[in-house]
């Protein structure tokens, strides 16, 4: 288990916000992540909410812009926020803003020069999960959520680990990346030209052939989001869910865009959604 270096610690509402750095053996580079813990005296074994951020973001975006700590402190939810990709001078990168560092797409790359470091799926589901469990004793129920590219990540990670996560939510997710420009570009680079390999990293494709546990999904999508029609297209996932009788809710939010203002507006409802699904299963 890698040693953690505490970078920041802030008391916020009735909890504490932390930021850590560690040397990731999965990604082969130093990584940062943020962690919010509610009052330990009130919530000794809180459920854990995973947040996956979008293109160009780090773990700081959600921590500093969402305002989620207030609701998490009240509800007794721990939150963990990884970075969006490996980083460093020796880590492959691109001059394009939507590829490389800051654009890891939460998959395991198989192509060069990306394969040695771009294994965000394994990093989240194995290495960072072990840190949360072993070093912070976060052994309670888990939920997963994310925004845009991170919404794609939340859907894929959640569906591929349905026995682990009790529910999934997302804000403006990329639901069918193998059919939209952001995803096609990333998948070609990270996974190569064999489109059959792309299917396991595409939520719409995963759901078409899904036979696992049906865990509820909530999606919020702003109708003023400039990426809605070309890159996101939640109706594609909704159509598959309807055909499969899968418990998916897509809420169109009038006037809302792709920014963290939208996330801040509805994050409390997302946390409450996850806890309600947990209560329904008990």
- CB contact at 8 A, 240 and 248: no
Residue closest to 220 by CA, chosen among 278, 166, 272: 272
From 148, 167, 169, 178, the catalytic residue: 148
- CB contact at 8 A, 141 and 47: yes
From 256, 258, 270, 274, the catalytic residue: 258
- Catalytic annotation present for 25: no
The span from the CA of 106 to the CA of 123, in Å, is 9
From 202, 225, 256, 270, the catalytic residue: 225
The span from the CA of 265 to the CA of 176, in Å, is 25
- Catalytic annotation present for 258: yes
Say which residues have a Cβ less than 8 Å from residue 90's Cβ, sequence separation at least 6.
29
- Catalytic annotation present for 225: yes
In total, the chain counts a number of residues equal to 282
The span from the CA of 249 to the CA of 147, in Å, is 16
Say which residues have a Cβ less than 8 Å from residue 228's Cβ, sequence separation at least 6.
172, 221, 222
The span from the CA of 272 to the CA of 263, in Å, is 14
Q: Which residues are annotated as catalytic?
A: 148, 225, 258
């Amino acid at each position: 288990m890698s040693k953690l270096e505490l970078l920041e610690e802030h008391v916020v509402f009735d909890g504490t916000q932390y930021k850590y750095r560690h040397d990731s053996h999965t990604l082969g580079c130093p990584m940062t992540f943020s962690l919010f813990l509610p009052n330990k005296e009130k919530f000794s074994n809180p459920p854990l909410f995973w947040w996956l951020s979008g293109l160009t973001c780090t773990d700081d975006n959600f921590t500093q812009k969402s305002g989620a700590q207030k609701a998490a402190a009240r509800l007794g939810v721990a939150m963990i926020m990884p970075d969006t990709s490996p980083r460093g001078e020796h880590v492959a990168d691109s001059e394009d803003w939507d590829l490389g560092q800051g654009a890891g797409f939460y998959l395991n790359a198989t192509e060069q020069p990306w394969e040695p470091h771009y294994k965000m799926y394994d990093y989240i589901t194995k290495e960072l999960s072990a840190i949360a469990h072993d070093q912070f004793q976060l052994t309670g129920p888990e939920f997963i959520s994310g925004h845009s590219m991170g919404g794609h990540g939340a859907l894929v990670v959640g569906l591929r680990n349905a026995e682990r996560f009790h529910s999934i939510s997302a804000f403006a997710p990329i639901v069918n990346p193998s059919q939209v420009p952001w995803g096609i570009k990333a998948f070609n680079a990270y996974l190569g030209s064999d489109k059959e390999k792309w299917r396991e990293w595409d939520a719409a494709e995963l759901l078409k052939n899904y036979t696992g546990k049906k865990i509820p999904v909530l999606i919020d999508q702003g109708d003023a989001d400039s990426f809605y029609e070309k890159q996101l297209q939640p109706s594609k996932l909704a159509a598959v869910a309807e055909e499969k009788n899968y418990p998916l809710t897509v809420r169109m939010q009038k006037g809302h865009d792709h920014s963290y203002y939208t996330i801040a507006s509805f994050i409390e409802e997302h946390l409450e959604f996850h806890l309600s699904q947990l209560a329904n299963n008990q």
